[in-house]
């Protein structure tokens, strides 16, 4: 049975294909169209999935959309009616779009699908609820036969948070928290207030938090949020504007904290860092209370997480260290793009009633999240040649040796290999790599390669067999969704003068023997690299370890600020020529910056809208 899942028409459109219960393909539309967070119907992602299936759209057994637009419209209307006449401007702007497009999504989706296959039977088009899609994306690929499933995001139809129980092929939602009370929207409100883009900049707030102190956390808990012992809560809507207005927060929110909304690109101050630290602390407290109450109520030993809040790897790491559950598994595409995968899995297991296929060993079913397109060496060379690139093609051993030596020499390396990752993290398939031992590498990658804010941390990719020697964790973390501290023996203590530095000035103080991946609080967002899921990346880090004694490399996504992660060889070459990446490795082809035609150099710094 072949089931296609689709998410989109809000943000982060994607498509995913499940064949006989096995995940065959999944990709976000932005990677093909090169438009960040592309919300349009994912025609190119659908085309990719069909190419993997080797069939036409009309040959599929079902197509499942990841939420129910009529229920979402009901929530919108009820919210406007509840606050009328306040919110009229928002109502006036939203209604034409809903009446023209979103309300009749079955018809619109049918038209889009018939563009691909004129004979497509619209009766094959099914809908599942937003949070059920998230829950399915987390439970069915997990390594667990039974689990509690917690989903947390901004809002789906009505739900903002759900508790589901999964057992075998069965999955049922047992509890919901409803709009406008939302942990995701609280975090997004502070994202907006501190001057970052909603649905994009939340991870910046998480990265900024260690520079601050959570001095506003008590005020948030006193005024903004009524938090119960079980983790449920209510938000005081008199401080927010998202339910019926055009902004996330209002003047009362600004008055409470004593400053107006920061404008994008305006100088960050200690106040903004403290706001970030405060909302992060509140988020962690809510997640821990929820987890404890779920464990006590359900008796489940395993926990699965999905929804945008599940991408908060700092909260995830704290939850892991608290040992509330015996095992935790987090969907790597936890946001709305992952809803496409959840919709396909729900279609296969819940609509069609099929059992889960057997898993090999104790691993999950995500295949390392390497579910996107791959390209043959011939295709890579053809694309590079057409782009005017100058390259040499090496055998596997020479390729690994050349790349590892470049990293050891302090070069920034673009690395494109195998199938593209599904989800927001680059996991060693579409990555920019560097030497973590270099005190300059973090600043160089941020300012000269990524063209982004200097405070943002980079993740370490570490050989799974070596992770416990370098970090205070001995768990699989293949999807870069857990934060742990660098081992104490590798840390460098700060002097009193260094401790007194202001906020961002702390960035320039090396914290460990791997300073490029050690955040200001000695933490790191860890990716464990496994030989069975990414043998070439594992071989590269192994060779780097042999050269340097260090089994860790810097790993950041292969893109510049505001650009989607690269998909193809031509995408990689453009980014290479538009940034200060020094070596590009695509398949078995190696490109050196100094050998390229200077006329092909691009000004990438201003090419994309800031994220």
Which residues are annotated as catalytic? 11
d(CA 154, CA 263): 23
Reduce the DSSP state of residue 92 to 3 states and report it: helix
Closest CA to 175 of 327, 296, 294, 351: 294
d(CA 521, CA 568): 36
The answer to whether residues 64 and 344 touch, using CB atoms and an 8 Å cutoff, is: yes
Closest CA to 308 of 175, 455, 481, 164: 481
The answer to whether residues 241 and 254 touch, using CB atoms and an 8 Å cutoff, is: no
The answer to whether residues 205 and 190 touch, using CB atoms and an 8 Å cutoff, is: yes
Cis ω for the linkage preceding 85 (within 30 of 0):
yes
392 φ/ψ angles, rounded to the nearest 5 degrees:
-120, 150
Closest CA to 129 of 85, 173, 86, 165: 173
Reduce the DSSP state of residue 476 to 3 states and report it: coil
For the record, the structure tokens of 135 come out as: 């829950």
Which string of b and e fits 460-497 if b means at least 16 CB within 10 Å?
A: bbbbbebbeebbbbebbbbbbbbbbbbbeebbeeeeee
Q: List, in sequence order, every residue forming a beta bridge with 178; answer none if it has no partner.
A: 159
d(CA 248, CA 242): 5
Quote the strand ranges of 153-205, DSSP E. 159-167, 170-178
Across the chain, how many H-helices and E-strands are there?
Answer: 20, 21
d(CA 460, CA 466): 12
Reduce the DSSP state of residue 62 to 3 states and report it: strand
């Amino acid at each position: 049975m072949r089931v296609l899942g689709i998410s989109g028409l809000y943000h982060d459109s994607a498509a995913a294909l499940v064949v006989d219960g096995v995940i065959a393909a999944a990709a976000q539309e932005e990677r093909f169209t090169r438009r960040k967070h592309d919300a349009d119907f994912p025609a190119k992602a659908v085309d990719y999935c069909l190419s993997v299936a080797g069939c036409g759209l009309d040959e599929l057994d079902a197509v499942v959309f990841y939420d129910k637009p009529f229920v979402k419209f009901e929530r919108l209307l009820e919210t406007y009616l509840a606050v009328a006449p306040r919110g009229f401007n928002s109502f006036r702007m939203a209604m034409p779009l809903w009446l023209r497009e979103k309300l009749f999504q079955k018809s619109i989706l049918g038209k889009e699908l018939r563009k691909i296959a004129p004979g497509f039977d619209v009766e094959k088009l099914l809908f599942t609820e937003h949070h059920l899609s998230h829950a399915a994306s987390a439970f069915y690929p997990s390594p667990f036969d039974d689990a509690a499933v917690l989903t947390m995001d901004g809002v789906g139809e009505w739900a903002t948070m759900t508790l589901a129980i999964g057992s075998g092929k069965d999955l049922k939602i047992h509890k919901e928290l409803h709009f406008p009370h939302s942990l995701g929207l609280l975090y997004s409100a502070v994202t907006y207030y501190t001057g970052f883009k909603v649905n994009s900049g939340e991870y910046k707030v998480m990265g900024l938090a260690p520079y601050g102190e959570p001095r506003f956390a008590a005020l948030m808990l006193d005024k903004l949020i009524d938090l119960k012992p079980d983790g449920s809560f209510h938000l005081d809507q008199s401080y927010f504007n998202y339910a019926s207005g055009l902004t996330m927060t209002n003047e009362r929110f600004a008055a409470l904290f004593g400053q107006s909304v920061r404008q994008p690109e305006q100088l960050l101050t200690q106040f903004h860092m403290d706001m970030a630290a405060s909302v992060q602390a509140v988020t962690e407290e809510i997640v821990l209370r929820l987890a404890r109450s779920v464990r006590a109520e359900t008796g489940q030993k395993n926990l699965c997480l999905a929804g945008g809040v599940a991408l908060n790897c700092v909260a995830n790491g704290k939850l892991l260290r608290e040992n509330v559950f015996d095992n935790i598994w987090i969907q790597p595409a936890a946001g709305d793009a992952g809803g496409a995968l959840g919709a396909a899995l729900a279609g296969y297991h819940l609509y069609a009633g099929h059992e889960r296929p057997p898993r090999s060993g104790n691993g999950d079913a995500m295949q390392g999240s390497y579910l996107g397109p791959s390209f043959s060496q011939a295709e890579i060379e053809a694309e590079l040649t057409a782009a005017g690139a100058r390259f040499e093609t090496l055998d596997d051993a020479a390729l690994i040796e050349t790349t590892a030596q470049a990293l050891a020499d302090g070069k920034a390396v673009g690395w494109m290999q195998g199938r593209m990752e599904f989800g927001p993290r680059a996991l060693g398939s579409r990555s920019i790599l560097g030497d973590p031992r270099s005190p300059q590498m973090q600043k160089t990658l941020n300012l000269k390669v990524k063209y982004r804010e200097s405070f943002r941390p980079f993740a370490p990719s570490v050989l799974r067999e070596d992770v416990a020697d370098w970090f205070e964790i001995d768990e699989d973390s293949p999807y870069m969704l857990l934060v742990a501290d660098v081992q104490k023996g590798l840390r460098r203590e700060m002097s009193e003068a260094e401790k007194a530095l202001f906020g961002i000035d702390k960035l320039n103080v090396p914290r460990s023997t791997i300073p490029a991946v050690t955040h200001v609080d000695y933490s790191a967002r860890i990716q464990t690299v496994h030989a069975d899921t990414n043998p070439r990346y594992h071989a590269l880090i192994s060779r780097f370890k042999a050269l340097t004694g260090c089994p860790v490399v810097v790993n950041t996504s292969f893109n510049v600020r505001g650009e989607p992660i690269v998909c193809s060889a031509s995408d990689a070459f453009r980014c290479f020529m538009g940034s200060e990446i020094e070596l590009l490795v695509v398949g078995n082809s190696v490109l050196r910056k100094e050998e390229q035609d200077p006329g092909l150099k691009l000004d990438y710094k201003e090419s994309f809208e800031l994220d």
